[in-house]
């Protein structure tokens, strides 16, 4: 991760109290992406790879909640405490809380360098709110990537996932192991297993996905924004396919 992006991630994770010190200039070719897909499909990994190649910041709502979860209880607002309770069970956080949190970080959506949204929107209500906000800001999404994978493989992936407690990089014990077990390749931070990656929470998360998030595939399909990618193969292979599809989509848009 470049120093620039580390700063951007801090602004996203901390909210309005932190400012991006070197915000990129407005870039007419900036990417504004939404990543969709069931939990465990590899959105976070792909978002990191896309961030390194396309420069746009990786904005994960789950990371914001986890960062709030590592604060002391007295630093957490009542709404955030409630949100963390939902998250630990694997359930979705109520739309109003999520939307307030995203709105507080509106500077990251306005950013001239673009963005890669991961984990938001997750319900039709959130997608409609995002659409209204983008319209009122005169911005448009470049594309929405939907990563597709059978449920049995998703469960295996989630069980083996490990996350860096410092820089949030994502590894897998067998598929994407760190060079030194338990330690992050990028920053030497400690790797941990997320509370909501336990089997009982995984089941709730997959049900919430089917009920609330899967309908977004249709929503963005109708908007002509959907790019479908089979999330099988190595992270690098999936990434190359994503990039090829996104670039050919952009070339077609420019030709029209």
Indicate the residue whose CB is closest to ligand ADP. Answer: 62
Nearest to 211 by CA among 98, 122, 140: 122
Nearer to ligand ADP, 23 or 67 (CB): 67
- For residue 153, the number of C-alpha atoms closer than 13 Å in the C-beta half-sphere is 12
Kindly state the smallest distance separating residue 118's Cβ from ligand ADP, in Å: 6
- For residue 115, the number of C-alpha atoms closer than 13 Å in the C-beta half-sphere is 25
Nearer to ligand ADP, 112 or 150 (CB): 150
Catalytic position from the list 43, 162, 168, 176: 43
Interface residues with ligand ADP (CB under 6 A) are 39, 60-62, 65, 86-87, 90-93, 98, 119-120, 122, 126, 196, 205
Nearer to ligand ADP, 58 or 122 (CB): 122
Kindly state the smallest distance separating residue 25's Cβ from ligand ADP, in Å: 29
Contact 122, 212 (CB under 8 A): yes
Kindly state the smallest distance separating residue 198's Cβ from ligand ADP, in Å: 12
Kindly state the smallest distance separating residue 211's Cβ from ligand ADP, in Å: 12
Catalytic position from the list 9, 122, 162, 176: 122
DSSP 8-state symbol, 93: P
Nearer to ligand ADP, 10 or 23 (CB): 10
Catalytic position from the list 105, 161, 168, 176: 161
Residue 194 a catalytic site member: yes
Q: Which residues pair with 183 in a beta bridge?
A: 190
Residue 205 a catalytic site member: yes
Cβ-defined contacts of 161-166 (< 8 Å, 24+): 161/40, 161/193, 161/194, 161/197, 162/191, 162/192, 162/193, 163/191, 163/192, 163/193, 163/194, 164/189, 164/190, 164/191, 165/70, 165/189, 165/190, 165/191, 165/192, 166/190
Active-site positions?
A: 43, 122, 161, 194, 205
């Amino acid at each position: 991760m470049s120093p620039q992006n580390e700063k951007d991630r801090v602004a996203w994770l901390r909210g309005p109290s932190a400012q991006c010190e070197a915000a990129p200039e407005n870039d007419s070719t900036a990417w504004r992406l939404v990543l969709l897909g069931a939990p465990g499909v590899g959105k976070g990994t792909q978002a990191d790879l896309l961030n390194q190649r396309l420069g746009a910041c990786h904005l994960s709502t789950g990371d914001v909640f986890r960062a709030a979860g590592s604060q002391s209880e007295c630093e957490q607002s009542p709404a955030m405490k409630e949100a963390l309770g939902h998250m630990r069970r694997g359930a979705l956080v109520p739309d109003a809380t999520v939307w307030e949190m995203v709105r507080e970080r509106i500077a990251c959506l306005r950013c001239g360098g673009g963005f890669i949204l991961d984990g938001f929107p997750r319900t039709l209500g959130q997608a409609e709110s995002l659409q209204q906000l983008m319209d009122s800001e005169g911005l448009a999404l470049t594309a929405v990537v939907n990563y597709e994978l059978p449920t049995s493989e998703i469960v295996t992936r989630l069980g083996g996932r490990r996350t860096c407690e410092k820089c949030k990089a994502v590894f897998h014990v067998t598929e994407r192991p760190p060079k030194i077990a338990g330690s992050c390749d990028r920053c030497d931070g400690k790797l941990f297993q997320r509370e909501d990656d336990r089997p009982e929470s995984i089941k709730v998360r997959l049900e919430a996905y089917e009920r609330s998030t899967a309908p977004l595939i249709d929503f963005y399909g109708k908007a002509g924004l959907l790019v479908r990618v089979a999330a099988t193969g190595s992270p690098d292979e999936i990434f190359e396919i994503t990039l090829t599809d996104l670039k050919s989509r952009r070339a077609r848009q420019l030709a029209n």
